[in-house]
Structure 1
Amino acid sequence: MNIIAGYRCIRCGTQYPSDQRLDTRGCPSCLETGPSNLRPLYPVGNSSIDLAATNNHAGKSLWQYACHLPPFGAGIVSLGEGLTPLVPAERIGKVLDVPHLVIKDESRNPTWSHKDRFSTVAISAALNQGAKVVATASSGNAGASLAAYAAKAGLQCVVATFAGAAGAMISQIRAYGASVFPMARKTDRWALLEKAADQLGWFVTSPYHHPVVGSHPIGIEGYKTLAYEIVDQSGDRLPDWCVLPVCYGDALAGLAAGFHELLEMGKISRVPRLVAAEVHGSLSAALESGHDRIEEQEQRFDTVAVSIGTTRSTYQALKALRDTRGCAVCVSNDQITSMQRMLAAKEGIFAELASVAPLVAVQRLREQKVMAASDRVVAIVTASGLKDLDSSVEAPAREKPFESVEDAWTRALERTGSGHKA
């Protein structure tokens, strides 16, 4: 069954047939000047949607927005993803001088990260196309998510990773039954996936060519639902800014696409400005230069935010920022680790290291007066802090147990004060 009518380059607009080989190089016409991803084109009216089958998921997952997603009908693979809350963050907002700050908490997804929005659509597409094996190159979240949805669909899953990937996430991937291949050389992951796609026909969802243009275009459509949910949950308080951590910009591109669809439908009167929290500054440099080709940046330090640690982002991320009058902000290790502790202590949200980068960016933009105190800001926290626990939290010293209630009582008073009610 053909779920799409074709593909269109996001840069030059060239259209390609639905059977176009997607080998993650993107648009052949743009390869030399500005390597660019494609977007799927849907049949007019999405007439092939089986509304009765789709409605089985409506109200339980992001598939309540199925009319804006690939028309799989009964072929949807869902674990109840999406519909994550917008959490008011007054306490940390006060510290950052951003009173109207809310957090879109994506750690509430089934595998505890925003990648589930991608995987539900990508795995549904793989099943639709008759794939037997799905695969990704991943440092953690994407692999764990793809593995879970592959398990739900009854597909084999292969995750090519690298030595040093977060132990908790590798354990999670294996728990879902996926085959994990840690490669001594990080770039060998892509060579493995290219060979498997060419010779075995694996459905590969991640990039596996350089320069990267982004992940599988159909999967990226799932991220549009972030925009739909933010608008529905905000009521008449549409945010002025949406800030998220960015590596290759899949979620950023999907978020921008979702907002622009809502604008075209007349559901919103403007598009929020988007901000990419990045590490090594490739998007910042591209915005400054005005060029479409993203240049490799020097890796000045080893980041603790491994999942956004790329030295070269993508045109799809750059386009999303340009189209929304957005910007990019670089974040450091000290800022990230400090913000992770602050978010947990003040708002009760324990987020992955990369996931607190948006709050660091918000702090920087407010200090620079780019954001106004009156602006409404959504920070998208993309994953749970349990994902990279071995990197984010120092092992506590083993405390000697208290020998008596009296000893514990004395210590409790020291730590909390009297604790008397006012």
Structure 2
Amino acid sequence: MLPCAAEDAVTLGEGLTPLLAAPRIGAFLGVADLAIKDEGRNPTWSHKDRFSTVAVSVARARGAKIVATASSGNAGASLAAYAARAGLKCIVTTFAGSAGAMLSQIRKYGATVLPLVTKMDRWSLLAQAANRYDWFIASPYHGPVVGSHPLGIEGYKTMAYEIVEQSGGTAPDWCVLPVCYGDALSGLWSGFCELFAHGAITRLPRLVAAEVHGSLAAALASGADALADRQMVFDSLAVSIGTPRSTFQALKALRESHGHAVPVGNQGLVAMQERLAREEGIFAELASVTPLIAISTLRQKGIIAATDRVVAVVTASGLKDLDRSVTPDTNDQIFQTTQDAWRWLDAHEPGLTS
């Protein structure tokens, strides 16, 4: 089902991530049957590994020596890891404001990082590299954006296959995920459609895009096919999906699935991240908790019913953007003796010592 022969595969053991019941966070959101597909369990801790395994496999099979991408973090880290596995050179163009932890991860894999002040300059550099030097470009590099390399996007179909397999052969009522340019959304929808066409499932889920600046929501509301740039009126904590304009491929998947797009701001992001970690043991990147806020919004509007089965895709680990989600605690106690520690517990956590 993928555009690459098994013997050509470059793999780090990606996929087969858990689909976890999340009853406590589900009760908080008003959804009795909520499950979380935890893509942070992939080799580089994000769903991008499903893309990179296919893209790098195809690149190496075609004889490419250099792979490149424009990335704020996750895609770059993933492509760098798979390029290292394949013995290829990797170039990552990025921009000021990218999460520091992810840039460090990219460099550890041996990739070359090129930060540019202007985001669009990343694309012009990659376009020149493709034309002059025949680099294999994994990401978009011209506007309007039409998504990343189409063969790499095929890798995201495997999320749909796994969700159905892990759900006993049924599709959920809703599948919600964070969306930037819609690569994962498009690939996920393609996977569900293939399963439906082959008779593996009897119905298709509805998709929801949790976005930042609302280009998909605006296009759905207006009926337009061309997505307009949205004014970026705030600096999103969810840097992985902070684009002012998504793509037609994402819009197409939402329309075909009778889905929705929900703009999500910064308010409540860190609190939701902490609640998910505390109540379900899943530490998600800030962009990855936007689906939970989108579910809450649609539940309050009565669009998602309390009895619907909902799958939220957590696309990356919370370790990816600690520099954005954690404020250093200068008030941490340093205990000189165990007695000091016990006295502190008696005073601040009496339920533990009663």
TM class by shorter chain equals over 0.9
In structure 2, the partner of 1:71 is: 4
Deviation at residue 398 of structure 1 after TM alignment: 4.8
In structure 1, the partner of 2:53 is: 120
Deviation at residue 399 of structure 1 after TM alignment: 2.6
In structure 1, the partner of 2:144 is: 211
In structure 1, the partner of 2:161 is: 228
Deviation at residue 420 of structure 1 after TM alignment: 6.5
SS of the counterpart of 1:104?
strand
The 5 A counterparts of 1:35-114 are 68-114=1-47
Over the matched positions of the two proteins, sequence identity in percent amounts to 63
Are 1:72 and 1:128, in contact at CA under 8 Å, matched by a contact in 2? no
Are 1:88 and 1:101, in contact at CA under 8 Å, matched by a contact in 2? yes
In structure 1, the partner of 2:253 is: 320
Normalised by the size of structure 2, how large is the TM-score? 0.98
What is the distance in 1 between the residues matched to 2:4 and 2:297?
41
Deviation at residue 335 of structure 1 after TM alignment: 2.3
Q: Deviations over 1:196-224 (max 9, x none)?
A: 10000000000110110100000000000
What is the distance in 1 between the residues matched to 2:260 and 2:144?
22
Q: 2:309 aligns with which of 364, 370, 376?
A: 376
In structure 2, the partner of 1:188 is: 121
Paired amino acid for 1:113: S
Higher RCO (CA 8 Å, separation ≥ 6 residues): 2
Could you tell me which runs of 5 or more consecutive residues in structure 2 were left unpaired when the two chains were aligned.
Answer: none
What is the distance in 2 between the residues matched to 1:236 and 1:375?
17
Deviation at residue 98 of structure 1 after TM alignment: 0.8
Q: 1:329 aligns with which of 262, 265, 289?
A: 262
Q: Does 1:343 align with 2:247?
A: no
Give the number of the structure whose alpha-carbon radius of gyration is greater: 1
Deviation at residue 191 of structure 1 after TM alignment: 1.2
Deviation at residue 391 of structure 1 after TM alignment: 0.6
Whichever structure has more helix as a proportion of its residues is 2
What is the distance in 2 between the residues matched to 1:138 and 1:213?
15
SS of the counterpart of 1:263?
helix
Q: 2:82 aligns with which of 132, 146, 149?
A: 149
Q: Which moved more, 1:376-385 or 1:180-189?
A: 180-189
The 5 A counterparts of 1:248-397 are 248-397=181-330
Q: 1:418 aligns with which of 340, 351, 354?
A: 351
What is the distance in 2 between the residues matched to 1:124 and 1:236?
29
Normalised by the size of structure 1, how large is the TM-score? 0.82
Paired amino acid for 1:152: R
In structure 2, the partner of 1:241 is: 174
What is the distance in 2 between the residues matched to 1:246 and 1:335?
18
SS of the counterpart of 1:317?
helix
Aligned length: 354
What is the distance in 2 between the residues matched to 1:418 and 1:184?
52
